[in-house]
Amino acid sequence: MISKIFNDKKYFQLTLFIIVLFSVVLNVILYFAGFYSISADESGRTIDAYNWINGTYEGVPTWLPFYNVVIGFGLKIFPDLFFTPRIIISIFGVLAFISFIWMTHEIFKDRYITLLSALIALLYPSRVILSSVPLSESFFFFFIFSGIAFFTRWLNSNKNYLLFFSALTFAFSSSVRYEGWLFSASFVLVLIFFKLLKTEEINTKTIIITGLIGLIFPVYWFIYQSGAAGNPFQFFYDVNKNYEHTLGISFFSILKHNYLTRFIHHNLIYLCFPGVFVSIYLFLRNSKIRKWMSLILIPFIPLILVSFTGRGIPTHNIWRIPELWNILLIPFTAYFMKNLNSFEIKYLKNLKKGAVPLIIIIMLMYYSFHVYRYVDDEYHFTNEELKIGRYVEQNLIKADPESKILIEIPDWSYLHIILASNNPGNFIKSSEGGDPRLIRNPTITESSRIDLAEITNKNIGFILVKSRELKNKIQYNPFFKERRNFKEWSLYEVR
């Protein structure tokens, strides 16, 4: 039966289909296990998309618009801020997984390596997590894997129309994440090198057209930022300001948070380091792999160099940025496993055929443990926050759509409650800007007097608080009545 999987195309495709189906089931399992996010970014980005599609977005966006467009129009069709983004991201997560499998098969044209890569990627922790939560990575991975797959097929067939598909998918990636700009640039540079070195047959017209396709969105974004913010690089300054404010720029901070350190860290703990050695080995021996590696290395090198200056780094979950390159190493790790006996490694030369399945089983069990660690993290979007948001929607907003809820901003968890309510417009934040790190013009604090006139003028009917100090202050005030007490949050009605 196993031999049929590798020798019969139908059995091989059926096996891959089953693996992809398992990835869908895994997403469902994670949802029922209460895994909704890895940070407050998911809720913040979804609320931004909601505001964008409804014309209530304020300020100049720092992040690229693909997420807002896709999630925003999805919310127009099915206006549930909790479920809709997760459904869309899960679909793109599956598409990204399929495009990864296709890319792998184009690289080696080896069913055994393709199947091993699919099995490793199935439970690879970062892939699983990022295809389950509503961040931009699923979109980005889908376009990048597809663009690389088209490029690799072109290397195999030399059919130039494939280059246009590759350029187009990289262009889409450049509207999702800024790293996509580097891939578009890398793609054109690689084609120019091929032309100059005469290693591939490619005409100048093709290079120019693919280059123009890659430039479309970055040029648009610079023009947009110039008009909206008065500075074409405003988005870059905003990202750097957030990082510097949160983590600070120091020698030790940069040493810890730069992309090379993060890449190495995950490469080691997720057991993909054999892929590094194999990719170097094949880079030196195989011209096709050299061309392939050139495409993915050119974007990574400047990204690493910039991170050593403390620029262009997100404020948390920094591993998300370099993780793409670890996932791209999975096929090379699979190559290593298939050819264990071929490598001149003393302790691996005499391994029996059953060693590879055993290694795969151990890896998948190890990966499952890491996925469980993410799911069990108490700092993520909790069931309690989902429950509070739904309660507010069903019992307060539907009863009085005009009534406002004043919500305390003790930390970023307040975003989850606003999102779960499906009515962000009905909430008034206790501090301007909504950043718990920067309390500005607070409506209520544990130290100041409660301004009842301001509460009345803003049509605030309820107050939702988390901190013990504010609870103690409000519950003894005769103008407020406790409506519902949750585990951490308490809801008070204005009399």
Integer Cα distance of 90 and 81 in angstroms: 15
DSSP assignments along 157-200, one per residue: H--THHHHHHHHHHHHHTTT-THHHHHHHHHHHHHHHHHHHTSS
Integer Cα distance of 141 and 134 in angstroms: 13
pLDDT reported for residue 198 = 85
- Where are the chain's structural domains? 2-375, 383-494
Indicate left, alpha or beta for 171 from its phi (over 0: left) and psi (-120 to 50: alpha).
alpha
Integer Cα distance of 423 and 392 in angstroms: 9
pLDDT reported for residue 118 = 97
- Whether residue 158 has pLDDT greater than 90: no
Rounded to an integer, the average pLDDT of 317-328 is 93
Helix (H) or strand (E) holding 5: helix 2-7
**CB 134 within 8 Å of CB 89:** yes
- Whether residue 323 has pLDDT greater than 70: yes
What is the per-residue pLDDT across 198-253, written as a single tens digit (0 to 9) for each?
888 889 999 999 999 999 999 999 898 888 778 777 777 776 666 555 555 677 77
**CB 57 within 8 Å of CB 47:** no
What is the per-residue pLDDT across 374-407, written as a single tens digit (0 to 9) for each?
776 655 889 999 999 999 999 999 988 888 999 9
**CB 87 within 8 Å of CB 112:** no
Integer Cα distance of 214 and 217 in angstroms: 7
pLDDT reported for residue 19 = 97
Integer Cα distance of 405 and 426 in angstroms: 6
pLDDT band at residue 278 under the 50/70/90 scheme: very high
- Whether residue 340 has pLDDT greater than 70: yes
**CB 310 within 8 Å of CB 253:** yes
- For the beta sheet containing 460-465, the strands, ordered from the edge strand earlier in sequence to the opposite edge, are 427-429, 404-407, 460-465, 490-494, 480-485
Q: Which residue has the higher pLDDT, 334 or 235?
A: 334
**CB 166 within 8 Å of CB 187:** yes
pLDDT reported for residue 240 = 63
Smallest Cα–Cα separation from 485: which of 473, 477, 471, 428? 471
**CB 15 within 8 Å of CB 1:** no
